Amino acid sequence: MTGRPLTILLAIILAVLIVALVSHHRVIPVYPGEYPVIAPPMHCDIEYHDDRVELALREDPLLGRVIVYAHAEGGVYLGILKPVYDRRVVVRRGDYADFRAVIKGSSVEAAEFLKKMDRYEPKIDMFDSIVAAHDADRAFGVQKCLYPLCTRCVEACKSVIQGDNIPITLEVKPDGHIMPVFRRGKCPRCGRCFVNCPTGSILPPDKGRK
Ligand code: SF4
Ligand code: SF4
């Protein structure tokens, strides 16, 4: 091979190596602030009636929708998406759970959607589930995080951090609700988790601290 083609070949190889190196070490944008802040859980007061439970929220939700949840036997977590009017949420007899998940300790092992296009399968009455949880001293209540109907924060974080060890996870707290948990780890403060959270469960530092 003469001098010029060899030079071109070497230049091409060098260019390929540089591209491979740059794409391996992706530049992750760094948010010009601090780390994300997890919003405190939502609390409510509950009234029981023969055909419904009414939950009076102690704060206005950002989205106007919340999850009402109840734990059932065998580590099963049931939830329904509900609208909020004047800080009140009503679960009536005949309102069926939208999803159920299996809980082990603080981990959500699996989530299954029960609401299909035209039916619920199986039909699990949320009113009965809340009353049963109350009677059996199991956890129930309201949460602002819409997991598993929403997983935006985790997906956004995965678009920045490679591998499974990402700083944001969704976990079950001791009082039974699911909420995001943040561990600094390799978080580059890109801000995508709180930018993508529709419910204000994850906040930017300036809004998360009062
Ligand atoms: S999306 Fe992930 S990497 Fe970005 S700020 Fe949130 S936790 Fe950190
Ligand atoms: S983006 Fe917000 S609402 Fe959705 S799963 Fe994450 S914390 Fe929950």
In what helix (H) or strand (E) does residue 49 lie, and over which residues does it extend? none
Tell the residue nearest (CA) to atom 4 of ligand 2. 150
Q: Which amino acid is at 159?
A: S
Q: Which one, of 187, 142, 189, lies nearest residue 166 by Cα?
A: 187
> According to the model, what pLDDT value does residue 18 have?
62
Determine the distance separating the centroid of ligand 2 and the alpha carbon of 28, expressed in angstroms. Answer: 22
Q: Which ligand is nearest to the CA of 184?
A: 1
What is the spatial order of strands in the sheet that 44-48 belongs to?
44-48, 52-57, 88-92
Using the mean position of ligand 1's atoms as its centre, give its distance from the Cα of residue 30 in Å: 9
Q: Could you give the 3-state DSSP secondary structure of residue 165? A: coil
- 5 pLDDT exceeds 90? no
pLDDT tens digits along 167-191: 999 999 988 999 999 998 889 999 9
- Which residue's CA lies nearest to atom 2 of ligand 2? 197
In 3-state terms, what secondary structure has residue 33? coil
Residue whose Cα lies nearest atom 1 of ligand 2: it is 197
- The model's pLDDT over 112-170, given as tens digits with 9 standing for 90+, comes to 999 998 899 999 999 999 999 999 999 999 999 999 999 999 999 999 998 888 999 99
Q: How far is CA 18 from the centre of its chain?
A: 38
Sign of the CA dihedral running 86, 88, 94, 97: positive
Q: Work out the number of other CB atoms within 10 angstroms of the CB of residue 65.
A: 17
Distance 157 CA to ligand 2 centre (A): 11
What residues line ligand 2, using a CB cutoff of 6 Å? 145-147, 150-153, 170, 180, 196-199, 201-202
Per domain, the residue ranges of the chain are: 44-143
* Ligand 2 midpoint to CA 132 (Å): 28
Distance 142 CA to ligand 2 centre (A): 14
**What is the value of pTM for the model shown?**
0.84
